[in-house]
Structure 1
């Protein structure tokens, strides 16, 4: 593991997880690029800049500016809603942990050596089919589909509502003039 990657994720405890180097570099790049410019909360929740837009042109202008300016804050809102859904729906969390644990277990098995239990020979293909055969009912029982639609609807309402109601800052007026 490289020094910069292990240093940037040392506080998260990810250096002991079985994560490949490529995935760690992808997480590090996401953290630096997407979450690197989080705006302060007093700017994000500035009550003096909240107002009703005059027309659809003003809504489009506010959406265009705020969605790019507060992009990192909006990503955190969506991540927060995801975490809330996993905490509120423990069966979904169990199903996801089961699916990811099974995929990780099957991935670690040698690809050319089938698993032999008594007289039965089980290949990786059979293990993947069995895992997905068990995971689909688990995800259905835990209402994964409705949870996804709830997350999309709630995050769209919060993000688009905030972006449409918050007036662009002073720097937004200068950017529009240029």
Structure 2
């Protein structure tokens, strides 16, 4: 492996790890409460999906791997596949959004198509496509429950990540008025 490739992999790993939130904060039972309305539940869900995206992704992957517990060969194949997705697609240096497929370069499109085809082939050839669909359904249900019931009160301090962060802060260093 070249030094540049190792450097790129290290940077990509640090970027992914920087988006994870502490599991103690994610699993804080004192932060769970009933939303007062459907509107509040959807607001909570939207905010928590953004804030805890890494944790939710790992949770869904864990549910998928638990569904494969009786098929260790499939677990090994999918671990290799997830590593391939990470190293060949998600760790690359690309500023284009994933939803804008037509703006991806030809190399990006080929990698995306190849990895998608290999994923589908593995799902069907190992016979775990039903496990995958059930895991996605259970994972989506758990994520929606947690996201709707997880209060955002203790997450307010993280508004500095938003474009309005300095306006929401109370400190003088962030632009609040001070006495002259």
Q: Determine whether 1:163 maps to 2:147.
A: yes
**How many angstroms apart in 2 are the aligned matches of 1:50 and 1:80?**
22
Aligned residue number for residue 106 of structure 2: none
Q: Which runs of 4+ in 1 moved over 6 A?
A: none
Aligned residue number for residue 130 of structure 2: 146
Could you tell me which runs of 5 or more consecutive residues in structure 2 were left unpaired when the two chains were aligned.
82-119, 169-180
Contact 2:64 2:131 in 1 (8 A): no
**Deviations, residues 120-163 of structure 1 (Å, cap 9, x unaligned):** xxxxxxxxxxxxxxx97x96585322112112112101211111
**How many angstroms apart in 2 are the aligned matches of 1:164 and 1:76?**
18
Aligned residue number for residue 71 of structure 1: 53
Q: TM-score, normalised by structure 2?
A: 0.53
SS in 2 for 1:39: coil
Larger radius of gyration: 1
Aligned pairs, number: 124
Aligned residue number for residue 71 of structure 2: 89
CA RMSD of aligned residues (A): 3.6
**How many angstroms apart in 2 are the aligned matches of 1:157 and 1:75?**
13
Report how far residue 89 of structure 1 moved.
2.5
- Of the structure 1 ranges 81-90 and 143-152, higher mean CA displacement relative to structure 2 is found in 81-90
SS in 2 for 1:52: coil
**How many angstroms apart in 1 are the aligned matches of 2:4 and 2:35?**
45
**How many angstroms apart in 1 are the aligned matches of 2:58 and 2:145?**
16
**How many angstroms apart in 1 are the aligned matches of 2:128 and 2:11?**
28
Aligned residue number for residue 56 of structure 1: 38
**How many angstroms apart in 2 are the aligned matches of 1:63 and 1:56?**
10
**Deviations, residues 81-140 of structure 1 (Å, cap 9, x unaligned):** 23323333346448x48xx8xxxxxxxxxxxxxxxxxxxxxxxxxxxxxxxxxx97x965
Could you tell me which runs of 5 or more consecutive residues in structure 1 were left unpaired when the two chains were aligned.
9-24, 101-134
